[in-house]
Chain A
Amino acid sequence: MPYSLMWLILVAPLVAFALMFGLTYENKRVSAWLGIIAVAVADAVSIAALFSELQHPIHVQYGLGPFGDFLTFADVHFSIGILADPLSAMMVVVVCSVSLLVQVYSLEYMRGEEGFVRYYGFISLFTFSMLLLVLSTNYFQTYIGWELVGVCSYLLIGHYFKRPAAAAAAKKAFIVTRFGDFPFFVGIAFIFFRFHTHMGGAADLDFYAISGLYKTGLVSQAGLFVMAMLVFSGAVGKSAQFPLHVWLPDAMEGPTPISALIHAATMVVAGVYLVARTYPLFAANPSSLAVVASIGALTSVMAAIWAVAQDDIKRVIAYSTLSHLGLMMFGLGVGAYSAAMFHLFTHAWFKALLFLGAGSVIHGVHTQNIWEMGGLGKRMKITAWTVGIASFSAAGIIPFSGFWSKDGIMASVFASQNPVFIAAAVAITFFSALYTFRLFFVVFTGEPARRRAFDPKKIHESGAYITVPLVVLAILAAFIGFTGIPGSKQGFGQFIFYGQHPETEAVNFIAIGVSLVVALVGLGVAALFYWPRFQRFSAPALNARYARVYDWSHNNGYFDEIYQAFFVRGLVLRTAAAASWFDKNIIDSYVDGLAEGYQLASGRLRRLQSGRVQGYAVGLFAGVLVITVLALVFGSGGHLS
C-alpha cells in the first residue's frame, strides 16, 4: 500500500465531524452512519498500512500537504505530517478499530439520548485528534493532538452536563491533566531551544531527527533528566499516573462507550505512547527510566488494591485501567519496550471489551452498583461470556491475550533483579486477578445480593448493535495474544522494538510460572469470597475486621480528600481569591476610570456640536485668522515669486 494514502486516515473523521455539525445535525441516523463510515474508511487504510509494515517494516514520514510548512518564520520551521512505522501503524489500527466498534455499539446504547448527534460528532473529532497525535512526526504536532484529545475528553465526559457530577468530573479531568500538560509544554520549549540549531534541514522538534541528538553530549545528563521528566509529566497527566491519577475514576461519569474508547483503549494510553515515541530521550538517561518505572509500579499497585474495594462497576474497571497503564509505564521503565507496547495493544481490546460489557449490563439493569446485580449470567449469555473472556485476559491467565503481554513485562521486571520491583509485579498480578474476577462473580453468578432494583424476568440480552462489537472484541481479546508469544521468530517483539535489533532475551520460565500461579491464586481467592458456589469466606466480615485497610482502599487512598484540603483549599482557592481581588480592584478600576473620564470629557465636548452653521463658520474663520497671524509672526516671511 502506498503510504501516501495515509492522509485519508486523518481526513475522514474530520470531514465526518464537520458534516455532522454543519449539515446533518438534525438527522440522527445519517449523522451516526456518517461517523461510522468515516472511521471504517480510516480503519481500512490503517489495516492496509499495518499489513504493509508487517511485510516490510519501514520508517516513512512526510509533510501533510500545505501543512508540511505549518509555521515558518526566520529559521524556525514547524511541520504537520504523517509518520508511518510499525509503532504508529499498530496504534492507528487500535484507535480506528475501537472507535468503529464503539460507534456501532453506541447506535443502540445511546439511542434516544439527548445530544445524540453531538455525541457522534465529538467521537469523530476525538478520533481525528487521537490519530493526529499518533501519526505525529514531531513534538509540536503531538502537542496539538494532545490538547485536542484533552478537549474532546472534556466534552464527552461532560456529555450529560446537566448532571452536576458529570460537569464537575469533566472539569476535574481537564484541569488535573493541565498540571501535566504545562510541564510538557515547557519540556517541548526546552528541547526546541537546545536542538534548534542542530536540526540539519529537518523540521524543528522532529522525533526522528532529534532521536540521534540526545546522546551526542549537546545536553548534559542533568539536562536530559530534566527534559525527560518534563515530557514524562505530560504522560503522567494524560495516562493518569500517580500523583495525577485522580481524574480517571471520576471520568466514568461520561457515557460508558466513551469510557471504553477514550478512558481505556486510546486517549489514556497516549501518555504511554508518548514515552515510547520519545524513548531515545529516556534511554539516554537511565535515572529517568528509573523514575518512569517507579511511578508506573506505584500507580499500578495502588490502583489494583483500590479496585478490589469499589462498588461501582465502572469504577472497578477504571482502577483496573489505571493499574494496567501503570504496568505499561513500569514495563517501559524497566526496558521492556516491546512488551509494554504489546500490553498496550492487547489491553486496548480486552479493556474496551470490559467497558462495553459493563455498558451492556448497565443498559440491561439501569444501575452501576455491582451489589444490585448478580446472577446476570443466565439472562445475558453473550455479555457474560465475552466479559468472561475479557476477565481472563485482564487477569493474565493463559492462553488469553493479557497473559502473553503481561508476561513479557514480568520477564523484564524479574531480569532487573530489583526486589521491590519484583514484589510490586507479583502484587499487581495477584490483585489484578482478584478484582477482575470479583467483578465477574458478583455481577454474573449467583443471585442479586442486596436488593433487586429491577425485575429479573425483564432482564434480557442487549441487541445486535451491542453484542456484535462485544463478540468481535472477545475474539480479539482471546486470540490476539498469540501474535506475541515470547521467543517466537515472527512475533510482536520482532515487529515493534527499540533500537537497531529486536530484544533477544531468552524465555524466562520462572517469570511465566510465577505470574501464572499468582494470577490463578488471585482467581481462586476471588472465587472463595465471591462465587456463591465455592464461597468459603465472607468478604463483608473481612472488610469489617480490617476496616482501616478497607476504608483506605474504598476511598481511593484518600487522595481526593488530601488534594482537596491541601491543594484546592490551601493553594488554588487562595490564589483564586487573590487574583479575584486584583481583577476587581486594580484591573477593573483602571478600566472603569478610563471609561468614566472619557464619558465626562465627551459630555462637555459635545456641546460644541451646536448644529448652527454660522457658529461653525466663526470657528473656521477664527482658525484661519490665528494661523495667518502665527505665520506672519513666526513664519520665514514667505514671499511670492
Chain B
Amino acid sequence: MSIGYIGLNHFLAVSAGLFAIGIYGLLSRRNAISLLMSVELMFNAANIALVAFARFGYHDAQPLAGQAFALFVITIAAAEVAVAIAILLLIYRLRGTVWVDEIDLMRW
C-alpha cells in the first residue's frame, strides 16, 4: 500500500476507531442523551464499513448491497432514536432525571 493511496484498510481503520469511541461513550457517560449519541456513532461506524466493503468490490454479484444496507441502517437508526427520545422524555417527566445510573427500577 503506497502512501497517498486511500484503500479499504483506511476506511476500516476509521470505522473501528469510530466504533471504539462509541463503545467508550456508551460505557462511560451517565447522561442518557450521550448514550444515544454514542449508539449513533456505532451505527455510523458500521455504515462506513459496509459502504467501504461494497465500494472495494467485495461481493460482485450484488455490487450495491453494502450501500443499500447502509441506507436501511440510517432509516432504522432514525426511528430508534425517535422512540428512545420519547421514552427518555417520559422518564424525565416522571423521575426528573436522565442519568442512567439513577434509573434502576428494573433490578432484583
Contacts and interface: CB of A to CB of B under 8 A. Distances in A.
B105 A611 contact: yes
B108 A609 contact: yes
B26 A609 contact: no
Given A621-B23, A640-B58, A611 B107 contact: yes
A617 B107 CA distance: 15
Interface string A10-34: 0000000000000000000000000
A614 B106 CA distance: 13
Interface residues of A, number: 13
Contacts of A610: 104, 107-108
Contacts of B101: 612, 614
B39 to A, nearest CB: 10
Contacts of B27: 614, 617-618, 621
A564 B17 CA distance: 89
B45 to A, nearest CB: 14
Nearest to B100: A613
For chain B, give the interface size range. Answer: 10 to 19
A618 B59 CA distance: 33
A621 B26 CA distance: 11
B26 A611 contact: no
A447 B98 CA distance: 101
A611 B23 contact: no
A405 to B, nearest CB: 80
Nearest to A606: B108
A504 interface: no
Interface string A599-621: 00000001101111110011001
Contacts of A621: 23, 27
A640 B49 CA distance: 13
B108 A614 contact: no
B100 A612 contact: yes
B10 to A, nearest CB: 17
Nearest to A640: B58
A612 B27 CA distance: 11
A538 interface: no
A641 interface: yes
A641 B58 contact: yes
Given A617-B26, A618-B27, A611 B106 contact: yes
A639 to B, nearest CB: 11
A601 to B, nearest CB: 14
Nearest to A608: B108
12 contacts: A607-B108, A609-B106, A609-B108, A610-B104, A611-B107, A613-B100, A614-B26, A614-B100, A614-B101, A617-B26, A621-B23, A640-B58
Given A611-B103, A614-B27, A640-B53, 4 more contacts: A610-B108, A613-B35, A617-B26, A618-B27
